[in-house]
Structure 1
Amino acid sequence: MIFKSFLLIFVIFSVCLITSGYVAHTRQGTIRGAKKVTSDGHMYTYLGIPFARPPLGRLRFQPPQPVVKWKDTRDTITQKPQCVQSRSTYVRTDKIEGSEDCLYLNVYTPMDPSKRTDQVYPVMVWIHGGGFFEGDNGYDLYPPENFVTQNIIVVTVSYRLGIFGFISTGDLIAPGNNGLRDQIMALKWVNENIESFGGDKNSITIWGESSGGISVSHLLSSPLTKGLFHKAITESGASISAVGVGIDQPLLAFATGSLLNINTTNSEELITHLQKVNFKELQAAASRAGIAITVEQPLIRYPFTVVIEPEHENAVLSKSPYAILENGEVPKVPILMGFNSNEGDGLPDAFARMALTASNLAPATLVPVGLNLNTPNDTNTANLVGALIKEHYFPRDTTNFAEPHFVHWYGDTHMIRPIIQQGLLLSKFTDVYFFEFNCIGYLGNPLRSNWNGVGHAEELNYLFKRLTQPTVLSAEDKLCSERVVKLWGNFVKYSNPTPENDPLLQEIIWPKTAPTPNMCYLHVDKNLSIRINPDKEDFQFWTNIFETYGKRPLTTF
Structure 2
Amino acid sequence: MSQESKQARRAWAGRRALSVVVAAGAALAAHFAIAASGPRAVTQEGTVEGVYKNGAAVFLGIPYAEPPVGDLRWEPPKRKDAWKSILKATAFGPTCAQITTLGVFAGPANNNEDCLYLNVFSPNVESAAQSKLPVLFWIHGGGNVDGESNDYDATKLAVQGRLVVVTVNYRLNLMGFLSHPALNKGKFGNYGIMDQQLALNWVKRNVAAFGGDKNNVTVGGQSAGASDTGMHVISPLSKGLLDRAIYESSVPSTIPTADIALTRGKAFGVAAKCGDGADTKTAKCLRALPASKVLTLSGTQSANGPYITGPFVDGAVIPLQPWEAWSNGQFAHVPMMNGRVQDEANFSLGIAEYFKKPRVAFTADDFTTYVKTTYSGPAGPINTPPNYPAGTVEKVLAKYPLYAYASPQLALDAVQTDPGACRARHYDRILGPQTQYYAYEFQDRTAPFYFPKMPGFQALAYHTADIQYLFPLYHGGPEGIPHELNRLQSRLSDQLVQAWASFAYTGNPNGQGDSPWPRYAAKGGKPTVFAQNIPVSTAITDAQFSASHKCDFWEKILIIPD
Letter in 2 for 1:332: H
Letter in 2 for 1:199: G
Q: Is structure 2 residue 258 aligned with structure 1 residue 258? A: no
Q: Displacement, 1:162?
A: 0.4
Which one of the candidate residues 523, 540, 545 is aligned to 1:535? 545
Q: Displacement, 1:324?
A: 0.5
Hey, what's the Cα distance between the residues in 2 that align with 1:303 and 1:104?
Answer: 23
Hey, what's the Cα distance between the residues in 1 that align with 2:518 and 2:108?
Answer: 47
Q: Displacement, 1:56?
A: 0.8
* Structure 1 vs Structure 2 CA RMSD: 3.7
**DSSP 3-state at the match of 1:23:** strand
Hey, what's the Cα distance between the residues in 1 that align with 2:176 and 2:424?
Answer: 24
Q: Displacement, 1:525?
A: 1.1
Compared CA separation, residues 366 and 411, structure 1 to 2 (3 A): farther
Match of residue 440 from structure 1: 445
Hey, what's the Cα distance between the residues in 2 that align with 1:328 and 1:245?
Answer: 20
**DSSP 3-state at the match of 2:510:** coil
Hey, what's the Cα distance between the residues in 1 that align with 2:80 and 2:236?
Answer: 23
Q: Is the 8 A contact 2:140 2:225 kept in 1?
A: yes
Instruction: Return 490-499 or 184-193, whichever deviates more.
Output: 490-499
Letter in 2 for 1:475: R
Match of residue 522 from structure 1: 530
**Identity percentage over the alignment?**
25
Match of residue 326 from structure 1: 327
Structure 1 spans left out of the alignment, 5+ residues:
1-15, 295-301, 502-506
1:258-297 mapped onto 2 (5 Å cutoff): 258-266=270-278, 269-287=281-299
In the TM superposition, what whole-angstrom CA distance separates every residue of 1:74-120 from its partner, at most 9, and x where no partner exists?
A: 22111110100014689xxx97415111111001111439x984522
1:55-454 mapped onto 2 (5 Å cutoff): 55-87=68-100, 96-112=109-125, 117-138=129-150, 140-169=151-180, 172-173=184-185, 175-240=188-253, 248-266=260-278, 269-287=281-299, 303-309=308-314, 311=315, 315-347=316-348, 350=352, 361-362=372-373, 364-365=375-376, 367-370=378-381, 374-375=384-385, 378-379=386-387, 382-385=389-392, 387-393=394-400, 402-413=408-419, 415-443=420-448, 453-454=460-461
Q: Is the 8 A contact 1:252 1:289 kept in 2?
A: no
Letter in 2 for 1:71: K
Compared CA separation, residues 267 and 440, structure 1 to 2 (3 A): farther
Q: Is structure 2 residue 499 aligned with structure 1 residue 487? A: yes
Q: How many residues align?
A: 500
Match of residue 9 from structure 1: none
**DSSP 3-state at the match of 2:381:** helix
In the TM superposition, what whole-angstrom CA distance separates every residue of 1:216-237 from its partner, at most 9, and x where no partner exists?
A: 1121111111111111111112
**DSSP 3-state at the match of 1:81:** coil
Q: Is the 8 A contact 2:234 2:318 kept in 1?
A: yes
Structure 2 spans left out of the alignment, 5+ residues:
1-32, 356-361, 476-480
Letter in 1 for 2:194: R
Q: Displacement, 1:33?
A: 1.7
Hey, what's the Cα distance between the residues in 1 that align with 2:460 and 2:254?
Answer: 21
Hey, what's the Cα distance between the residues in 1 that align with 2:545 and 2:235?
Answer: 29
Match of residue 40 from structure 2: 23
Q: Displacement, 1:291?
A: 5.5
**DSSP 3-state at the match of 2:138:** strand
Letter in 2 for 1:480: L
Q: Is the 8 A contact 2:154 2:165 kept in 1?
A: no
Match of residue 10 from structure 1: none
In the TM superposition, what whole-angstrom CA distance separates every residue of 1:375-434 from its partner, at most 9, and x where no partner exists?
A: 4xx45x54355554454346789xxx9322322222234x42332222222112101111
Q: Is the 8 A contact 1:443 1:477 kept in 2?
A: no
In the TM superposition, what whole-angstrom CA distance separates every residue of 1:288-316 from its partner, at most 9, and x where no partner exists?
A: 6996865xxxxxxx93311111x3xxx12
Letter in 1 for 2:253: I
TM-score, reference length from structure 2:
0.79
**DSSP 3-state at the match of 1:433:** strand
Hey, what's the Cα distance between the residues in 1 that align with 2:161 and 2:445?
Answer: 25
